[in-house]
Structure 1
Amino acid sequence: MVHFPVNHPARPLYRAIAGLVGLYILVFGVWGVALTWDQPLFDRGSTWALGLRTNLAFSLVSVVFGVVLIIGASRRSNLGHYMNLTAGVVFMVTGVAMMAVLQTTANFLNFSMSTVIISMVFGLTLLATGLYDKVGTEEHAEQEKASRRHPIAETNSR
Protein backbone atom coordinates (compact mmCIF):
# COMPACT_ATOMS: atom_id res chain seq x y z
CA MET A 1 0.00 0.00 0.00
CA VAL A 2 1.25 3.47 -0.84
CA HIS A 3 1.88 5.76 2.11
CA PHE A 4 1.73 9.46 1.35
CA PRO A 5 2.84 11.68 4.22
CA VAL A 6 -0.18 13.35 5.79
CA ASN A 7 0.04 16.95 7.04
CA HIS A 8 3.70 17.26 6.08
CA PRO A 9 5.28 20.32 7.76
CA ALA A 10 6.54 21.67 4.40
CA ARG A 11 3.12 21.35 2.77
CA PRO A 12 2.70 25.15 2.33
CA LEU A 13 6.06 25.31 0.54
CA TYR A 14 5.09 22.49 -1.82
CA ARG A 15 1.76 24.13 -2.60
CA ALA A 16 3.55 27.43 -3.28
CA ILE A 17 5.92 25.67 -5.69
CA ALA A 18 2.97 24.06 -7.50
CA GLY A 19 1.28 27.47 -7.62
CA LEU A 20 4.39 29.05 -9.15
CA VAL A 21 4.51 26.32 -11.80
CA GLY A 22 0.83 26.99 -12.52
CA LEU A 23 1.48 30.74 -12.69
CA TYR A 24 4.33 30.28 -15.17
CA ILE A 25 2.16 28.02 -17.33
CA LEU A 26 -0.71 30.52 -17.20
CA VAL A 27 1.53 33.49 -18.12
CA PHE A 28 3.13 31.43 -20.91
CA GLY A 29 -0.30 30.49 -22.22
CA VAL A 30 -1.67 34.03 -22.17
CA TRP A 31 1.49 35.37 -23.82
CA GLY A 32 1.34 32.59 -26.41
CA VAL A 33 -2.32 33.28 -27.18
CA ALA A 34 -1.50 36.97 -27.68
CA LEU A 35 1.32 36.09 -30.07
CA THR A 36 -0.51 33.38 -32.05
CA TRP A 37 -4.10 34.66 -32.11
CA ASP A 38 -4.03 35.38 -35.86
CA GLN A 39 -2.38 32.05 -36.77
CA PRO A 40 -4.00 28.65 -37.43
CA LEU A 41 -4.74 26.52 -34.36
CA PHE A 42 -2.07 23.85 -35.04
CA ASP A 43 0.48 26.04 -36.85
CA ARG A 44 4.04 24.69 -36.91
CA GLY A 45 5.71 28.10 -37.24
CA SER A 46 8.53 29.52 -35.19
CA THR A 47 6.57 31.42 -32.55
CA TRP A 48 8.31 31.52 -29.17
CA ALA A 49 6.86 32.66 -25.84
CA LEU A 50 8.92 32.78 -22.63
CA GLY A 51 11.60 30.58 -24.15
CA LEU A 52 9.27 27.86 -25.42
CA ARG A 53 7.97 27.27 -28.93
CA THR A 54 4.19 27.37 -29.14
CA ASN A 55 1.11 27.56 -31.32
CA LEU A 56 -2.45 28.65 -30.55
CA ALA A 57 -3.59 25.17 -29.48
CA PHE A 58 -0.70 24.69 -27.06
CA SER A 59 -1.19 28.20 -25.67
CA LEU A 60 -4.90 27.63 -25.04
CA VAL A 61 -4.22 24.30 -23.32
CA SER A 62 -1.56 26.02 -21.21
CA VAL A 63 -4.02 28.68 -20.06
CA VAL A 64 -6.45 25.97 -18.93
CA PHE A 65 -3.73 23.94 -17.16
CA GLY A 66 -2.32 27.06 -15.49
CA VAL A 67 -5.71 28.03 -14.08
CA VAL A 68 -6.36 24.46 -12.90
CA LEU A 69 -2.98 24.25 -11.14
CA ILE A 70 -3.44 27.62 -9.45
CA ILE A 71 -6.89 26.58 -8.21
CA GLY A 72 -5.46 23.31 -6.91
CA ALA A 73 -2.60 25.07 -5.14
CA SER A 74 -4.94 27.57 -3.50
CA ARG A 75 -7.20 24.95 -1.89
CA ARG A 76 -6.42 23.54 1.53
CA SER A 77 -7.98 20.20 0.78
CA ASN A 78 -6.71 17.11 -0.98
CA LEU A 79 -7.89 18.53 -4.30
CA GLY A 80 -4.43 20.00 -4.89
CA HIS A 81 -2.80 16.70 -3.94
CA TYR A 82 -4.71 14.77 -6.59
CA MET A 83 -4.46 17.55 -9.17
CA ASN A 84 -0.68 17.78 -8.78
CA LEU A 85 -0.22 14.03 -9.08
CA THR A 86 -2.45 13.90 -12.16
CA ALA A 87 -0.90 16.97 -13.80
CA GLY A 88 2.59 15.62 -13.12
CA VAL A 89 1.80 12.41 -14.96
CA VAL A 90 0.13 14.33 -17.81
CA PHE A 91 3.18 16.58 -18.22
CA MET A 92 5.57 13.62 -18.19
CA VAL A 93 3.53 11.59 -20.71
CA THR A 94 3.05 14.63 -22.96
CA GLY A 95 6.76 15.39 -22.86
CA VAL A 96 7.71 11.85 -23.86
CA ALA A 97 5.01 11.63 -26.54
CA MET A 98 5.94 14.96 -28.09
CA MET A 99 9.63 14.09 -28.00
CA ALA A 100 8.81 10.94 -29.97
CA VAL A 101 7.18 12.99 -32.74
CA LEU A 102 9.41 16.07 -32.50
CA GLN A 103 10.64 16.14 -36.11
CA THR A 104 7.45 14.85 -37.74
CA THR A 105 4.17 16.35 -38.85
CA ALA A 106 2.52 14.73 -35.82
CA ASN A 107 4.06 17.48 -33.66
CA PHE A 108 0.70 19.25 -33.52
CA LEU A 109 1.56 21.24 -30.35
CA ASN A 110 4.70 22.65 -32.00
CA PHE A 111 7.05 21.38 -29.29
CA SER A 112 10.79 21.96 -29.43
CA MET A 113 13.38 20.10 -27.35
CA SER A 114 13.39 22.94 -24.81
CA THR A 115 9.61 22.56 -24.45
CA VAL A 116 10.04 18.82 -23.89
CA ILE A 117 12.64 19.44 -21.18
CA ILE A 118 10.48 22.02 -19.41
CA SER A 119 7.50 19.68 -19.63
CA MET A 120 9.55 16.93 -17.95
CA VAL A 121 10.85 19.29 -15.24
CA PHE A 122 7.34 20.59 -14.53
CA GLY A 123 6.02 17.02 -14.48
CA LEU A 124 8.63 15.91 -11.94
CA THR A 125 8.07 19.04 -9.86
CA LEU A 126 4.31 18.53 -9.78
CA LEU A 127 4.72 14.85 -8.92
CA ALA A 128 7.04 15.76 -6.05
CA THR A 129 4.70 18.44 -4.73
CA GLY A 130 1.76 16.05 -5.06
CA LEU A 131 3.53 13.47 -2.92
CA TYR A 132 3.86 15.75 0.10
CA ASP A 133 0.75 17.91 0.17
CA LYS A 134 -1.86 15.43 1.38
CA VAL A 135 -4.12 16.79 4.12
CA GLY A 136 -5.81 14.77 6.85
CA THR A 137 -6.89 14.77 10.44
CA GLU A 138 -4.30 14.49 13.20
CA GLU A 139 -5.47 10.93 13.91
CA HIS A 140 -4.97 10.01 10.26
CA ALA A 141 -1.51 11.58 10.29
CA GLU A 142 -0.52 9.64 13.43
CA GLN A 143 -1.89 6.40 11.98
CA GLU A 144 0.09 6.94 8.75
CA LYS A 145 3.24 7.72 10.78
CA ALA A 146 2.77 4.59 12.88
CA SER A 147 2.36 2.41 9.79
CA ARG A 148 5.76 3.58 8.53
CA ARG A 149 7.61 2.61 11.71
CA HIS A 150 9.43 -0.66 11.59
CA PRO A 151 8.42 -2.91 14.56
CA ILE A 152 11.91 -4.41 14.97
CA ALA A 153 13.57 -1.00 15.23
CA GLU A 154 11.11 0.02 17.97
CA THR A 155 11.76 -3.18 19.93
CA ASN A 156 15.55 -2.68 19.84
CA SER A 157 15.32 0.93 20.96
CA ARG A 158 13.68 0.02 24.30
Structure 2
Amino acid sequence: MPHFPVNHPARPLYRAFAGLVGAYILVFGVWGLVETWGQPLFDRGSHWALGLRTNLAFSLASVAFGIVLLVGASRRGNLGHYMNLTAGVVFMVTGVAMMSVLQTSANFLNFSMSTVIVSMIFGLLLLATGLYDKVGPADHAEAERRGRNHTIASPR
Protein backbone atom coordinates (compact mmCIF):
# COMPACT_ATOMS: atom_id res chain seq x y z
CA MET A 1 0.00 0.00 0.00
CA PRO A 2 1.48 3.38 -0.94
CA HIS A 3 2.32 5.80 1.82
CA PHE A 4 0.24 8.96 1.56
CA PRO A 5 0.18 11.06 4.72
CA VAL A 6 -3.39 11.57 5.91
CA ASN A 7 -4.51 14.94 7.32
CA HIS A 8 -1.02 16.43 7.00
CA PRO A 9 -0.75 19.66 9.04
CA ALA A 10 0.56 21.60 6.02
CA ARG A 11 -2.35 20.49 3.82
CA PRO A 12 -3.79 24.04 3.51
CA LEU A 13 -0.40 25.29 2.32
CA TYR A 14 -0.18 22.56 -0.32
CA ARG A 15 -3.72 23.31 -1.50
CA ALA A 16 -2.73 26.99 -1.75
CA PHE A 17 0.24 26.02 -3.94
CA ALA A 18 -2.07 24.01 -6.20
CA GLY A 19 -4.47 26.96 -6.32
CA LEU A 20 -1.64 29.34 -7.29
CA VAL A 21 -0.54 26.99 -10.07
CA GLY A 22 -4.15 26.77 -11.26
CA ALA A 23 -4.53 30.56 -11.14
CA TYR A 24 -1.32 31.08 -13.14
CA ILE A 25 -2.43 28.56 -15.75
CA LEU A 26 -5.87 30.19 -15.99
CA VAL A 27 -4.40 33.70 -16.38
CA PHE A 28 -1.88 32.37 -18.90
CA GLY A 29 -4.69 30.73 -20.88
CA VAL A 30 -6.87 33.84 -20.91
CA TRP A 31 -3.91 36.03 -21.89
CA GLY A 32 -3.01 33.52 -24.60
CA LEU A 33 -6.59 33.56 -25.90
CA VAL A 34 -6.42 37.34 -26.21
CA GLU A 35 -3.05 37.12 -28.01
CA THR A 36 -4.00 34.30 -30.40
CA TRP A 37 -7.69 34.96 -31.07
CA GLY A 38 -8.37 34.74 -34.80
CA GLN A 39 -5.25 32.64 -35.50
CA PRO A 40 -5.40 29.01 -36.63
CA LEU A 41 -5.92 26.56 -33.76
CA PHE A 42 -2.49 24.90 -34.01
CA ASP A 43 -0.54 27.90 -35.32
CA ARG A 44 3.24 27.77 -34.87
CA GLY A 45 3.64 31.56 -34.78
CA SER A 46 5.50 33.71 -32.30
CA HIS A 47 2.76 34.38 -29.74
CA TRP A 48 3.84 34.75 -26.12
CA ALA A 49 1.84 35.04 -22.91
CA LEU A 50 3.43 35.48 -19.47
CA GLY A 51 6.83 34.48 -20.84
CA LEU A 52 5.66 31.26 -22.49
CA ARG A 53 5.00 30.58 -26.16
CA THR A 54 1.44 29.59 -26.99
CA ASN A 55 -1.17 29.09 -29.65
CA LEU A 56 -4.97 29.03 -29.58
CA ALA A 57 -5.18 25.29 -28.80
CA PHE A 58 -2.72 25.52 -25.92
CA SER A 59 -4.49 28.59 -24.56
CA LEU A 60 -7.88 26.86 -24.62
CA ALA A 61 -6.43 23.79 -22.90
CA SER A 62 -4.79 26.04 -20.31
CA VAL A 63 -8.07 27.79 -19.49
CA ALA A 64 -9.79 24.43 -19.00
CA PHE A 65 -6.92 23.00 -16.94
CA GLY A 66 -6.66 26.16 -14.82
CA ILE A 67 -10.36 25.95 -13.95
CA VAL A 68 -10.05 22.26 -13.09
CA LEU A 69 -7.06 22.91 -10.82
CA LEU A 70 -8.82 25.78 -9.06
CA VAL A 71 -11.87 23.59 -8.46
CA GLY A 72 -9.64 20.82 -7.10
CA ALA A 73 -7.78 23.22 -4.81
CA SER A 74 -11.03 24.59 -3.42
CA ARG A 75 -12.43 21.18 -2.42
CA ARG A 76 -11.83 19.91 1.10
CA GLY A 77 -12.18 16.20 0.33
CA ASN A 78 -9.93 13.84 -1.56
CA LEU A 79 -11.09 15.07 -4.98
CA GLY A 80 -8.31 17.66 -4.94
CA HIS A 81 -5.82 14.99 -3.87
CA TYR A 82 -6.60 12.82 -6.89
CA MET A 83 -6.85 15.80 -9.24
CA ASN A 84 -3.43 17.08 -8.18
CA LEU A 85 -1.81 13.66 -8.58
CA THR A 86 -3.36 13.26 -12.03
CA ALA A 87 -2.54 16.81 -13.12
CA GLY A 88 1.05 16.40 -11.94
CA VAL A 89 1.49 13.31 -14.10
CA VAL A 90 -0.21 15.02 -17.05
CA PHE A 91 2.09 18.04 -16.81
CA MET A 92 5.21 15.88 -16.53
CA VAL A 93 4.23 13.62 -19.45
CA THR A 94 3.21 16.60 -21.58
CA GLY A 95 6.49 18.36 -20.83
CA VAL A 96 8.57 15.33 -21.83
CA ALA A 97 6.44 14.63 -24.91
CA MET A 98 6.56 18.21 -26.15
CA MET A 99 10.30 18.41 -25.46
CA SER A 100 10.82 15.37 -27.68
CA VAL A 101 9.08 17.09 -30.62
CA LEU A 102 10.24 20.65 -29.90
CA GLN A 103 12.00 21.31 -33.22
CA THR A 104 9.57 19.36 -35.42
CA SER A 105 6.23 20.01 -37.04
CA ALA A 106 4.66 17.71 -34.40
CA ASN A 107 4.96 20.56 -31.86
CA PHE A 108 1.25 21.25 -32.23
CA LEU A 109 0.99 23.14 -28.91
CA ASN A 110 3.77 25.55 -29.96
CA PHE A 111 5.94 24.76 -26.91
CA SER A 112 9.32 26.37 -26.36
CA MET A 113 11.98 25.11 -23.97
CA SER A 114 10.79 27.61 -21.35
CA THR A 115 7.28 26.16 -21.64
CA VAL A 116 8.69 22.66 -21.16
CA ILE A 117 10.58 23.74 -18.03
CA VAL A 118 7.51 25.46 -16.55
CA SER A 119 5.41 22.38 -17.35
CA MET A 120 7.90 20.15 -15.52
CA ILE A 121 8.05 22.49 -12.50
CA PHE A 122 4.26 22.66 -12.31
CA GLY A 123 4.10 18.88 -12.64
CA LEU A 124 6.47 18.44 -9.71
CA LEU A 125 4.57 21.00 -7.60
CA LEU A 126 1.24 19.32 -8.32
CA LEU A 127 2.65 15.87 -7.58
CA ALA A 128 3.99 17.14 -4.25
CA THR A 129 0.66 18.73 -3.35
CA GLY A 130 -1.14 15.55 -4.36
CA LEU A 131 1.10 13.48 -2.13
CA TYR A 132 0.43 15.57 0.98
CA ASP A 133 -3.17 16.73 0.75
CA LYS A 134 -5.01 13.46 1.39
CA VAL A 135 -7.92 13.76 3.83
CA GLY A 136 -9.22 10.98 6.05
CA PRO A 137 -10.92 10.26 9.34
CA ALA A 138 -8.91 10.87 12.52
CA ASP A 139 -8.56 7.14 13.30
CA HIS A 140 -7.16 6.48 9.81
CA ALA A 141 -4.69 9.33 10.21
CA GLU A 142 -3.65 8.00 13.64
CA ALA A 143 -3.13 4.48 12.26
CA GLU A 144 -1.02 5.89 9.44
CA ARG A 145 1.03 7.93 11.94
CA ARG A 146 1.56 4.89 14.18
CA GLY A 147 2.70 2.84 11.19
CA ARG A 148 5.14 5.57 10.23
CA ASN A 149 6.55 5.75 13.78
CA HIS A 150 6.79 2.02 14.40
CA THR A 151 9.52 0.97 16.85
CA ILE A 152 11.35 -0.98 14.16
CA ALA A 153 11.72 2.16 12.09
CA SER A 154 12.60 4.42 15.05
CA PRO A 155 16.22 4.96 16.05
CA ARG A 156 17.08 4.03 19.62
Deviation beyond 6 Å, 4+ runs, structure 1: none
TM-score (structure 2 length as normaliser): 0.97
- CA RMSD, aligned part only? 1.2
AA partner of residue 9 (structure 2) = P
Match of 2:106 in 1: 106
Q: 1:22-66: per-residue Cα shift (whole Å, max 9, x none)?
A: 000000000101110110000000000000000000000000000
Deviation at 1:152, TM superposition (A): 2.7
Alignment of 1:35-54 (within 5 A): 35-54=35-54
Partner secondary structure for residue 152 of structure 2: helix
Alignment of 1:29-40 (within 5 A): 29-40=29-40
Q: 1:51 to 1:152 in 2, by over 3 A?
A: same
CA distance in 1, matches of 2:93, 2:99: 10
Alignment of 1:4-83 (within 5 A): 4-83=4-83
CA distance in 1, matches of 2:64, 2:146: 39
Query: What runs of 5+ residues in structure 2 fail to find an aligned partner?
Result: none
CA distance in 2, matches of 1:35, 1:119: 20
CA distance in 2, matches of 1:2, 1:10: 20
Deviation at 1:146, TM superposition (A): 1.5
Query: What runs of 5+ residues in structure 1 fail to find an aligned partner?
Result: none
CA distance in 1, matches of 2:152, 2:111: 51
Match of 1:135 in 2: 135
TM-score (structure 1 length as normaliser): 0.96
Deviation at 1:147, TM superposition (A): 1.8
Deviation at 1:150, TM superposition (A): 2.9
CA distance in 1, matches of 2:107, 2:77: 37
CA distance in 2, matches of 1:73, 1:150: 32
Partner secondary structure for residue 151 of structure 1: coil
AA partner of residue 109 (structure 1) = L
Q: 1:2 to 1:23 in 2, by over 3 A?
A: same
Deviation at 1:3, TM superposition (A): 1.2
